[in-house]
Chains A and B, each alone.
Chain A
Amino acid sequence: MVIGLLICEVLEDEMSFLISQDPDLEKVTFVESDPGVDLIADLHRRIGDRLTVIKDVSEFFSDASKSFEILAHVLRVGLHMDKELLQNDVANETKRLDEKSDVIMLGYGLCGNVLMNIEELLTDVKSPIVMPQNDDGSKVDDCVCMVLGGTANYLEHLYQEAGTWFVTPGWLKHWETLLVQELHAPDIETVKWIFDKAAYKRVLMVDTGIGDRDKFRSETEEFAKKFNFYIDEVKGTLELLRKSFDEAKRLAASRRKEVNQGEDHEAFAEA
């Protein structure tokens, strides 16, 4: 069975960790892209020769000798700056993965509600689509919500201090580009001016326990100092991503079983 995995670059550390921890995984094929460079390197370190890199989805053919494979593609961080771009890129890449997958997992949330009805753009996709969900089955808000464990937790932190800027190691990796580009600000000083206007006060470190903690702490301190934020810390979780990944595996296994049973019936009928 093949799980097609389409994720935002901001979640690369979390997904690399989750994939590498899966006991059933036999092979990961990565569609090479600029935003995928770090994830490919990290995965290579974690899973060694179970990783293959290809230039284009069309080069992928599932390996009959493997019972569980992943075909992964990373889209660049910050697509949410342009609603249409995010929607179209996610839809187009999902369609491409669909040709080679049994199930597709999207490592995305509502992202400002841009992906709320993404299924409407994917009616011709045959693979079931799985996205991270809250406990009540609703889609999670965004990448922050995902690692906080759901909307209820997200709100709790916002009600404590509405002027909160949430950071994960993945977000900190891209913050300068993201903020300057996202706000179309000419420089960091302008970003500071906008942050002051918006009354951000605190930076909340969401620590999921993966990666280099000291580095995470020092980068958060550097960020906080630049914008005069105070720092709080909260324990994050990979549970919602893990559940979504497990659900994708379950669906893929059941689809594969259906296909195999169909083939058995055909063979029986021919005999």
Chain B
Amino acid sequence: MSDQLFQQLIDSIVLGKVDEAGSLTQKALDQNIAAMTTVEKALIPAMAIVSEKYEKKEYYLPQMLISSDAFYAAFNLLKEEIKASGVSGSKGKIVCGVVEGDVHDIGKNLVKTVLEANGFICVDMGRDVPVEDYLDAVAKEKPDFLLLSTLMTPTMLSMKRTVEGLSEEGTREGVKVMIGGGPISWDFAKKIGADFYGDNEKEALRWANSEIGK
């Protein structure tokens, strides 16, 4: 019975049916299915399908966005229970955001979606975030990872300044810096002293998982 419900929920997220994703998740809660089970059996597989479709160019930005909305319609209903169960954040804490001067947060949101779905807790700083705000957040939240994103080339400099700022404040050692976005590359990551560059949400998840517990 629950398998059928999970499949319906997967379909609703993949097809971007936001209301349906919400009502099916509520149905799962009403049937006393553990929130984390719904995440594992429906939300994670759904986002994996969405990512795959994007890679194969079956999905483009609008489809990704609407699926992400459907994901959150489901995930937000499950959040409280997950938090109470202590599962959320069990993998680690991430501070994430788009750098100053840039509002393009779609990529960052997709990475955040997948990381949250997989047990990381994300402190989302939003977009157009000044360097100082990241430095304060790292000092306050003491995250395992700092994830910075930008879609534009002129704003890339902000990533370099953030890494330098962490070193100056003495907080660099305690946090792993992940960067991403259209113009970013491994070369750039190495140049500014970041720990990781990822081309997509799957790579980010794989790397974050591999770093936990090191």
Q: A110-B153, A142-B153, A162-B128 are in contact. Are A185 and B102 (CB under 8 A)?
A: no
Query: Would you call A158 and B60 a contact (CB within 8 A)?
Result: no
Query: A154 at the A/B interface (Cβ < 8 Å)?
Result: yes
| Smallest beta-carbon distance B119→chain A, Å | 26
Query: A17 at the A/B interface (Cβ < 8 Å)?
Result: no
Q: A155-B155, A158-B155, A162-B128 are in contact. Are A184 and B102 (CB under 8 A)?
A: no
Query: Would you call B182 and A112 a contact (CB within 8 A)?
Result: yes
Residues of B within 8 A of A162 (CB): 100-103, 127-128
Query: A269 at the A/B interface (Cβ < 8 Å)?
Result: no
Q: In A154-205, which residues have CB < 8 Å from any B CB?
A: 154-155, 158-159, 162-163, 183-186, 190, 193-194, 197-200
Q: Taking beta carbons and an 8 Å cutoff, which residues of A are in contact with B?
A: 110, 112-113, 141-142, 145, 151, 154-155, 158-159, 162-163, 183-186, 190, 193-194, 197-200
Query: Would you call B152 and A141 a contact (CB within 8 A)?
Result: yes
| Total interface residues in chain B, CB < 8 Å | 23
Q: A183-B60, A184-B62, A194-B106 are in contact. List 14 more A-B contacts (CB 8 A).
A: A113-B182, A113-B184, A113-B185, A142-B153, A151-B153, A155-B101, A155-B157, A158-B152, A158-B155, A190-B62, A193-B62, A194-B62, A194-B65, A200-B103
User: Which residue on chain A has the smallest CB distance to residue B99?
Assistant: A162
Residues of A within 8 A of B103 (CB): 162-163, 198-200
Query: B154 at the A/B interface (Cβ < 8 Å)?
Result: yes
Q: Taking beta carbons and an 8 Å cutoff, which residues of B are in contact with A?
A: 60-62, 65, 100-106, 127-128, 151-155, 157, 182-185
Residues of B within 8 A of A190 (CB): 62
| Smallest beta-carbon distance A180→chain B, Å | 10
Most buried by A among B101, B104, B154, B184: B154
| Chain A at the B interface: SS class | loop
Query: Would you call B65 and A159 a contact (CB within 8 A)?
Result: no
| Smallest beta-carbon distance A265→chain B, Å | 44
Query: Would you call A198 and B100 a contact (CB within 8 A)?
Result: no
Residues of A within 8 A of B151 (CB): 112
Residues of B within 8 A of A112 (CB): 151-153, 182-183
Residues of B within 8 A of A183 (CB): 60-62
Query: Would you call B100 and A151 a contact (CB within 8 A)?
Result: no
| Smallest beta-carbon distance A21→chain B, Å | 28
Residues of B within 8 A of A194 (CB): 61-62, 65, 106
